[in-house]
Structure 1
Amino acid sequence: MAFDIKPKFVSFDMNGTLIHFRIGDAIRRVLGDRLPPELADAFTRVGNYYRFDECMGEYKPFHQIVTDALARTCARFGVEYREGDGQAVYEEIPTWTPYPGVTEALNRLAEAYPLVLLTNSDDAFASQLADNLQAPIEVLITAEQMRLYKPRAGAFEYMLDKLGAAPDEIVHVSASPKYDLRPAAALGISNMVYMDRGFEPDEPWLGHERITDIADLPVLLGLPRP
């Protein structure tokens, strides 16, 4: 085991860490030929930041986060935004499925640890996505329940309070230093795993373990290889 303690819980970011979060593909489909190919990469990068920025304010439903961020991105690039574009992107979310190997790794971990999801989704879609994982989830915590979004510190405070756990009694797993690992570390959650999906740079100064294959996670947490 890479950690000094056997955790009471293993918690996860869901979208982008366990679920293949394909919002860029969805946006391209919805906008179609309104989005010039030469703008697509920059449009996606700026759109990702606008969604992050929208999560930092007062709580609003996730469909509004998606819609407002997309409208802002379209305005920034001079791309036509049509009423209903954001909702069309949002409605694709519950169809997304896990990355390869996730279901198997979660089911192995669940034999030894209660699994927790801490997600920026709303209740309805979070439940559907959790079902898509096909693994036993002990606790599902959503932005709708918390009335705020990661990376707000209150998200991790809410999780610790709900679990009745101290910061050193959980291991938190995420593919996002920006949304998860930075605030978790700031609140004293020292046992962290960076699931490197290649869409955010590693920030090793945060003190996390790094893996590139989800199959390594059960081993990292002390379970034998199958």
Structure 2
Amino acid sequence: MTKFRPKYITFDCYGTLTNFQMAEAAQKIYGGQLDPARMAQFVKNFAAYRLDEILGDWKPYNEVLHNAVERTCRRNGVAFRAEDARSIYETVPSWGPHRDVPAGLAKVAKEIPLVILSNAMNEQIMHNVEKLGAPFHAVFTAQQANAYKPRFKAFEYMFDMLGCNPEDVLHCSSSFRYDLMSAYDLGIKHKVWVNRGHEPANPYYEYTEIKDISGLPGVVGL
């Protein structure tokens, strides 16, 4: 993919733009109870249960986290407290961007409308978006779509709201499992993988790789 100029650049937010700190939040609560190896396993299980919790019908993200924390605690032999899960949920609005994000976004925002499609709650997302340092044409949430990514319904809601087709956008994410696999299946031909180290490369899904958002302007010829 070389210098494609889309109608919109669409983004995943948490992990791609916002520094996703769910593991750190869990470490703060449970690190005193678990040795490093067990804590690493706890974090791995926690990520897996969060994904499993969003694959069905939509439910509020505080319930997603409550259930995921409870299941992770049970699997790892740790006492579960509802207030711990709530405290993790309440940290989300405080998260800021990766250091490379504001300058890279600001450059492309001058030429191409930016859009976020996030597995977020309406009450939280704008606290994070306001820290990104660039204007966004639209911000869509799982709560609005009544579905979480990687479900197609979330992406289809975004297309309907923008009045565009998959081939009109460039979708940018650091995650294959949440974004780029579904984007591929839905016919989004232009995809960017931001290699934040969350997941291994998978060239099957036909993307352009960048190490961070500073590389995005070059993808669209800016």
Judge same fold: TM > 0.5, yes or no.
yes
1:88 alignment counterpart: 87
Structure 1 segments, 4+ long, off by >3 Å, are none
Residue by residue, what CA displacement relative to the aligned partner does 1:69-127 show, whole Å, maximum 9, x if unpaired? 01100001111111211100111111111001201111111001000000001011111
1:134 alignment counterpart: 133
* Percent of aligned positions that are identical: 38
Structure 1: segments with no counterpart, 5+ residues: none
Structure 2: segments with no counterpart, 5+ residues: none
Contact 1:193 1:210 in 2 (8 A): yes
1:175 alignment counterpart: 174
1:145 alignment counterpart: 144
Contact 1:31 1:85 in 2 (8 A): no
Aligned equivalents of 2:173 and 2:125: distance in 1?
A: 16
TM-score normalized by the length of structure 1 = 0.95
Contact 2:122 2:141 in 1 (8 A): yes
Matches within 5 A, 1:176-191: 176-191=175-190
Shift of 1:32: 4.2
> Number of matched residues?
222
SS in 1 for 2:82: coil
Contact 1:55 1:149 in 2 (8 A): yes
Matches within 5 A, 1:26-45: 26-45=25-44
RMSD: 1.1
1:76 alignment counterpart: 75
SS in 2 for 1:133: coil
TM-score normalized by the length of structure 2 = 0.97
Shift of 1:38: 2.5
Shift of 1:63: 1.1
2:120 alignment counterpart: 121
Contact 2:119 2:148 in 1 (8 A): yes
Residue by residue, what CA displacement relative to the aligned partner does 1:130-168 show, whole Å, maximum 9, x if unpaired? 111121011000011011100001111111111111111
SS in 2 for 1:60: coil
1:46 alignment counterpart: 45
Contact 1:30 1:88 in 2 (8 A): no
